[in-house]
């Protein structure tokens, strides 16, 4: 969430400072970091967003809920 905020803020900054190469590089590095983090999360926990549902539908009701995985044992 903090990473998404930083990406949004850098995007706004780049709107008014389009030639700031350092900010542009930081913007893209944060985007790559966010994509990698989401992919890692989704490998073990499934889709993070409603828009990430596959064409085959969703299985949220069939899968174990986060608290069913024994995280609080």
Does residue 69 lie within any of the structural domains?
A: no
Distance of alpha carbon 43 from alpha carbon 2, whole angstroms: 21
Q: Are 7 and 31 in contact (CB under 8 A)?
A: yes
Write down the pLDDT at residue 60.
66
Does residue 1 lie within any of the structural domains?
A: yes
Structural domain range at position 36:
1-44
Does residue 66 lie within any of the structural domains?
A: no
Does residue 40 lie within any of the structural domains?
A: yes
Between the alpha carbon of residue 14 and those of residues 9, 26, 64, 69, 73, the distances in Å are 9, 11, 42, 42, 46
Could you tell me the pLDDT band of residue 70, with boundaries at 50, 70 and 90?
Answer: low
Mean pLDDT of 28-32: 98
Q: Is the pLDDT of residue 54 over 70?
A: no
Q: State the total domains in the chain.
A: 1
């Amino acid at each position: 969430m903090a990473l998404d905020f930083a990406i949004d803020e850098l995007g706004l900054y780049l709107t008014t400072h389009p030639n700031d190469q350092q900010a542009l590089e930081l913007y893209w590095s944060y985007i790559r970091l966010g994509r990698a983090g989401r992919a890692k999360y989704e490998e073990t926990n499934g889709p993070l967003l409603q828009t990430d549902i596959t064409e085959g539908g969703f299985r949220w009701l069939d899968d174990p809920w986060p608290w069913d995985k024994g995280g609080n044992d």
